[in-house]
A and B are shown apart, each in its own frame.
Chain A
């Protein structure tokens, strides 16, 4: 009788949790998608005048959307690659779990700073009249502040990438440090060594494959987070190309209200792209493999 009651209670908790998830996350998300779809094709909105493919056609043909997607992809890929390049060796080098050491404060601290604040810090550090430029000028490395290279609002998105690396590296360092401990990678590496594996073989065949396999989903999700970031590229990016979120918000807030459906269509395409990415990289079979 007691176990039947407990089963019922568990069932209630599971069902309620599922319903809440549906109501709070899934239904609003799909409702938003449907609304965007209707808005994009002129089927809703107070200024709509009936079905039209004009807005979709404009977004697809003017090239701005796709150059923005390509630029966002480049920024996300570069930021994640550099962060992993620093974080993985860092996690391996620190033999103890870094989150339990005294160094933890310096690793956690950047994670507590909002991205908009980090963007402003980068702006003050990397600008032509910023801190680094001024130090370089006083150290006579450059003859004038104008000689300092363009590191913000620049062509290659150096400012955006630097800021994302500053934020992502501590996150990945903590994440991989925990994995090294939980997966007992030092023990596994030691076992491989006792079987005759050299240092390179231990890293390339044991440590790094395990870290990547266990951390793949997190890396993909962080990639999507950087791909869609807003505040950092808004402050440190160029006017063209803009990262996708900045472009969508600009299109949503046009002076010409009749062009707002272009913003909805862009956001719809972007959402579909993210869903496709998730389906390709994070489908359950892949995660288990």
Chain B
């Protein structure tokens, strides 16, 4: 070879392969030069000092322009101005986050590309399964004193105690959004829903995503006679009994679903689009405040309205988790603390901004900000939270969702 004319051919190849591999591997490695201090051992002011000037990578679902706007126009500049933290947001949800962190762990990566993430119950379960979450850290956050931990919908995530391993961020309840110009009397229970769908074929469907599965879980709880019956750990016998009734119910009305039930939308955004265009009369939302937000931003026409079934719908919270191998845990904690601060929660609560329910206990807040929360009565198209709270159902153990996801495909979609 030209560079090493006296070296034997075999040796030259080995040398070159080793050299190139070393370059590739060194480019791929991500060792942190400066070991970070354990933020759990620091005071809050030291945590803020540690976080200043750093970049925090947040991975979150970015499927809603209004949520993106809240993050980019409010949270990112506020963190920069107040704490000198650069928040970099990348797109990714549940299974993508799990997949990345699993791969990083399998590759023994020391410092993750993700510092923190927006997680829901099933992701919390998966991330704890593979042990990649940092914590418990929530008690260390100064604003955590305002969080409503008395509320079981916040304290437990898919029947698992949160235990400070994820920071509550928002609280929502599943709603059915309907076209009030076409559906004059929305069906309030499963029998009425079946009758309506049969009389108006092609106008109703269920998505195969998280929201669709949450709707199926709500129906399952309704069939089981309430949350209490399915409370606690996964019960195979009960699941088989009630899910058989659920699939029987859905298969009976399936021929009258959108596209005769031969296919189902893969995402709630696809359902929203078809609803806005008038193809569907119903869509689902995992956020009871979403309909007002969507009308306010002209995504939905003013014919949109929302409600919950008499048998109730699932209420759950969403959280922020910090990755165990984050290179900037102090920064991630500072971001979490800002996200649960009363002003950030108030802003997020407004229908014109996001319409996300707060996880704060309003009664605990200082009078000035409390009155601002009290005065937020801007829902015109969706139900008031106080009206649907009695119909809120607790999330079930994560195995119910895993099984419903598999069996919905097996007994309904592929049948």
Contact = CB atoms under 8 A, between A and B. Distances in A.
Interface stretch (A163-171, A177-185, A250-258, A268-276): A250-258
B126 A240 contact: no
Contacts of B265: 153
B312 to A, nearest CB: 23
Interface in A100-134: 127-129
Contact of A255 (B95, B278, B414): B95
Interface of B: 1-3, 5, 13, 16-17, 20-21, 24, 95-96, 98-99, 102, 105-106, 122, 126, 129-130, 202, 208, 259, 262-266, 274, 277-279, 398, 401-402, 405-406, 409, 413-414
Main secondary structure of the interface of B (DSSP, over half): helix
B405 A47 contact: no
Interface in A164-206: none
Interface string A143-165: 00110001001110000000000
Given A150-B259, A240-B263, A15 B402 contact: no
B263 A257 contact: no
Contacts of B278: 129, 145
Among B259, B278, B413, chain A packs the most CB atoms within 10 A around the CB of B259
10 contacts: A8-B5, A12-B3, A15-B1, A15-B16, A19-B13, A23-B17, A129-B274, A145-B278, A253-B98, A255-B402
Contacts of A9: 2
Given A150-B259, A255-B402, A255-B405, A23 B130 contact: no
B130 A257 contact: yes
Contacts of B130: 46-47, 257
A20 interface: yes
Interface of A: 8-9, 11-12, 15-16, 19-20, 22-23, 44-47, 64, 127-129, 145-146, 150, 153-155, 234, 238-240, 252-257
A239 B401 contact: no
Given A11-B1, A15-B13, A239-B263, 11 more contacts: A12-B3, A23-B21, A45-B106, A46-B102, A127-B274, A150-B259, A153-B263, A154-B259, A239-B266, A253-B96, A255-B405
A19 B279 CA distance: 56
A12 B263 contact: no
Contacts of B266: 234, 239
B24 A23 contact: yes
B210 to A, nearest CB: 9
Contact of B16 (A19, A46, A153): A19
A9 B17 CA distance: 19
A46 B105 contact: yes
A12 B98 CA distance: 44
Contact of A153 (B259, B398, B413): B259
A150 B279 CA distance: 13
B2 to A, nearest CB: 4
Given A11-B2, A257-B130, A46 B106 contact: yes
Contacts of B264: 239
